[in-house]
Structure 1
Amino acid sequence: MQSPPSSVLLNIGGFNLHYYGLIMFFAIITALFVMHCVAKKFYKDVDTDTLLDILPIIILCSILGARLYYVIMDFSYYSKHLAEIPAVWQGGMSIHGGIIGGVLAGIIVAKVKKISFLKYADVFSYGLVLGQAVGRFGNYFNCEAFGKPCSIPFLKLYIPPAHRPFGYENIEYYHPAFLYESLWNVFVFLILFFVVRKIPNIKEGTIFFAYLILYSLGRIIVEWCRMDSVLNIGNIAIAQIVSAVVIVLSSIFLIVIYKRKGKT
């Protein structure tokens, strides 16, 4: 697998259109399409007009959260390059940060509009995980989120010298970790849609917390393969620690949901 010739798709009047930005656009469109289709066909009590009304707020807060989280995790760099903080087209978006930003915004919006946060979060989860699957290909065009050196012919990804980690300047091929996570996200969607959704007497929030658990499990596994984790504690990436915490908290919430009497 060869790396792209450039991260820039085209230049219009001195303005660069980056592949990363285009991929993020398609990721958002994918998420919106899936959410709308799922809500219309399987969640009749979810108002699609309300869904479309709150989506721009959720998306904006998710993007802000994703960037802010990444900047905080790599603050030693961005504190010296403040002008680069808004440059999201260069990459540097944390999915964990995006989830945090989106969830906080969703809770506030649900309170204001007097709707069920968990019900709408369930619908969001289907689109979100497929949007992530698409969005990960932005890492390919930015030559980031790749894994350790790889010699498997059909998997190895060529990384240009300028993007190789320190100490690995002479190694050309690496695992496409972004691809592994993308495929895992597709798998998570299939599990949510064809297995979890069909659980008898399923309760609100089940899809959402199952998504968090399954995504986090995959992230822990894929992170072992990556070499560009923003921050580590020893040999453990912060992303793995956060994912483990998410799994524990989501499991607790699921137990609470199914122990109490409530909506199915």
Structure 2
Amino acid sequence: MVLPDLLPELLPLTIPSPSQGVWYVGPVPIRGYALSIILGIVAAIWIGERRWIARGGRSGEVTDLALWAVPFGLVGGRLYHVITDYQLYFGEDKNPITALYVWRGGLGIWGAVALGALGVVIGARRSGIKVLPMLDALAPGVLVAQALGRWGNWFNQELFGRPTDLPWGLEVSPDTALAAGFPVGTTFHPTFLYECLWNLAAFLVVVWADRRFRLGHGRVVALYVMTYTLGRGWIEYLRIDDVQMDDIFGLRLNVWTSIVLFVVAAAYFLISARRHPGREEVVRRADAGDDRGVREAEEPTATE
């Protein structure tokens, strides 16, 4: 028997979806979507803390800023989703209160990143921390958070791609397939898995580039945006979920968003490298009133 004959037996026929996305401990619901988001937040804080200490920051400062960034990010992510998909919540036979039901899914990454970054800026300024070094320390961990958070879509059986006969096609429940307008038994591109793998690969690229070239002055953030949008653009193109403001000159809203953000991030990266080569030597403001954190930035460690 030759290897090609064995491939159908070695490869999975499909990727099954979970039979349920909610479990109960007594009256308390434990939701797969929420667990994915929480696990991503924990991973981002842990990675960010290690990178921040390697940059010359103090232990615990990332956790302190998370008290600002996480609530801001959740609100921003939900606002972006509700604004771009408002037809799901407002209009005839719609209940606007469901716009608050975050546990059903629906967090727009760009809203989460924008307001989450605003939360970091507010917390950093209150703590005497320079904003750009902190954002550079946090950015790679956000990619890991996004990778883990995407599994929430798997639990909710949402945001999958076009039908496919590939061996890793995603199974969904009969009701989900019919609601999407396809026959029962259709399998779909597992876009949650594609984005998870892309984000993890982008994390490795960004961390390597930061270590190799000692990026600073916001260039790690710019590289994060560039690597993420490269993947998000083609993955978004595979998705079939309805989005308000879809098909703008033949492309989905989030594809256009990815294109614009990639161009802006690339321009910032180049301008910043020309104006501010190298990396910041201190991570706290001179007027912070505490010089314990003002010291030469250390080389990134092997565990960064």
TM > 0.5: yes
**Matched residue, 2:240:** 227
**Matched residue, 1:253:** 268
Give SS of 1:38's match: helix
CA distance in 2, matches of 1:115, 1:100: 19
**Matched residue, 1:160:** 173
8 Å contact from structure 1 (residues 197, 207) kept in 2: no
Q: How much is the aligned-residue C-alpha RMSD, in angstroms? A: 1.8
CA distance in 2, matches of 1:263, 1:107: 22
Post-superposition shift, 1:144?
0.8
Instruction: Map Cα deviations across residues 129-180 of structure 1 (whole Å, 9 max, x no partner).
Output: 1111111111100001211101012x11101122225432345200100100
Corresponding position: 1:206 with 2:219: yes
8 Å contact from structure 2 (residues 40, 148) kept in 1: yes
What is the aligned counterpart of 1:22 among 23, 27, 35? 35
Question: Unaligned regions of 5+ residues in structure 1, if any?
Answer: none
8 Å contact from structure 1 (residues 149, 171) kept in 2: no
Cα separation, partners in 2 of 1:22 and 1:100, compared to 1, 3 Å:
same
Post-superposition shift, 1:87?
1.1
**Matched residue, 2:151:** 137
CA distance in 2, matches of 1:11, 1:64: 27
Post-superposition shift, 1:115?
2.1
Corresponding position: 1:39 with 2:39: no
**Matched residue, 2:78:** 67
**Matched residue, 2:5:** none
CA distance in 2, matches of 1:26, 1:58: 15
Give SS of 1:224's match: helix
Aligned residues: 259
Corresponding position: 1:118 with 2:128: no
The one-letter code of the counterpart of 1:113 is S
Post-superposition shift, 1:81?
2.1
8 Å contact from structure 1 (residues 59, 102) kept in 2: yes
The one-letter code of the counterpart of 1:37 is R
Post-superposition shift, 1:12?
2.4
Cα separation, partners in 2 of 1:229 and 1:125, compared to 1, 3 Å:
farther
CA distance in 2, matches of 1:229, 1:183: 24
**Matched residue, 1:244:** 259
CA distance in 1, matches of 2:242, 2:259: 16
Larger Rg: 2
Post-superposition shift, 1:260?
1.5
CA distance in 2, matches of 1:220, 1:72: 20
Greater mean deviation of Cα atoms: 126-135 or 190-199: 190-199
Give SS of 1:228's match: coil
Post-superposition shift, 1:32?
1.4
8 Å contact from structure 2 (residues 210, 220) kept in 1: yes
What is the aligned counterpart of 2:88 among 73, 77, 81? 77
Post-superposition shift, 1:55?
1.1
The one-letter code of the counterpart of 1:104 is L
Give SS of 1:96's match: helix
The one-letter code of the counterpart of 2:273 is Y
CA distance in 2, matches of 1:144, 1:122: 31
8 Å contact from structure 2 (residues 76, 111) kept in 1: yes
8 Å contact from structure 2 (residues 49, 61) kept in 1: no
Instruction: Map Cα deviations across residues 213-245 of structure 1 (whole Å, 9 max, x no partner).
Output: 110111001111111152312431111111111
The one-letter code of the counterpart of 2:265 is S
The one-letter code of the counterpart of 1:60 is P
What is the aligned counterpart of 1:86 among 100, 103, 109? 100
CA distance in 2, matches of 1:54, 1:229: 35
8 Å contact from structure 1 (residues 8, 17) kept in 2: yes
Calculate percent identity across the aligned residue pairs. Answer: 28
**Matched residue, 1:169:** 183
